[in-house]
Amino acid sequence: MHATAIAPANIALVKYWGKRDRALNLPAAGSISVTLGGLETRTSLRFDDDLEEDRVTLNGAMDAGTTVRVRRFLQFVRERFDVAFHAHVETENSFPTGAGLASSASGFAALALAVDKALGLDLPPAALSALARHGSGSAARSLVDGFAEMHPGTREDGEDAYATQLAAPDALPLSVVAAITTTAPKTMSSSEGMEHCRKTSPYHAAWIGQVAIDLEAMRTAIAAADLGAVGEIAEHNAMCMHADMLAARPPVRYWNAGTVTVLDHVAELRTSGTDAWCTIDAGPQVKVL
């Protein structure tokens, strides 16, 4: 009834930004990511029949937001797998939490793995990815090595919404540099931001339409190992997602002045002949491909 698991972060090259079902955490469209070495979460889980509620620590301290999300996930696990106990969860990130570096992706991927081990479930990869998705949509992709594609699925129960491998880690000579522009916690969670965009942004439907076009182009670019095309599509896709955010009412603006400065530097690098492209998640950090 106890286990420790480690999972890496990932960065989306074609972003997930919108849900078709909030309760089951089902994405409205697919997404493509690359799993990152060096940024990871280590989670220890112990089910305990003496506990009356789940106890959660993040980097050694209590964190209210993380506790709520982990408890919701463990409640789902108890109902799905008929478990009577609450759990101690200790989770450590090797990178800043909550600032757009995908800590919920590595976090819920590690927690899903720890649940699988602790309960001896031995779930097949697709079911494990779907389980992680219940914690966080992007977590479904962190269980895949290399390049992952998330399938939005069509089933109402969401069991066909999971990630599979699109290409091996060495398919492209790609490195990712994360430029940290602030370590302050972000202003709005991804879940809230997506829902707000769905309800208020006149660009949201266009964004979902663009994802279908970019998924197709990105699959082709990765299969051809065309780094230039991968970078260009990824940067354009991220800008389209942020355009959706900026068009919401009130706008969702994760960028700060440092974010724009990094974008300028990367544009200059490119002009001077260096292959470099930017992508930005629901936060102010810039990841340079």
Tokens of 162: 């999971």
Told to check if 282 binds ligand DP6 by CB under 6 A, we report: yes
Q: For the chain, what is the largest distance between any 2 Cα atoms, rounded to a whole number of angstroms?
A: 63
Residue 73 near ligand DP6 by CB under 6 A? no
Count interface residues toward ligand DP6 (CB under 6 A): 14
The reply to whether 255 sits near ligand DP6 by the rule CB under 6 A is no
Per CB under 6 A, the list member of 40, 54, 244, 281 interacting with ligand DP6 is 281
Q: Is 278 in the site for ligand DP6 (CB under 6 A)?
A: no
Backbone angles phi, psi at 19, to 5 degrees: -120, 150
- In DSSP notation, 145-210 reads SSEEEE-----TT-TT--EEEEE-GGGS----EEE-S--SPPSS-HHHHHHHHHHH-TTHHHHHHH
Q: Which of 35, 43, 91, 190 binds ligand DP6 (CB under 6 A)?
A: 190
CA distance 232 to 214: 10
Q: Which of residues 123-142 bind ligand DP6 (CB under 6 A)?
A: 136-138
Nearer to ligand DP6, 54 or 149 (CB): 149
Site for ligand DP6 contains 152 (CB under 6 A): no
**Residue 150, token pair as written in the block:** 């998330």
Binding-site ranges for ligand DP6 (CB under 6 A): 12, 15-17, 25, 31, 104, 136-138, 190-191, 281-282
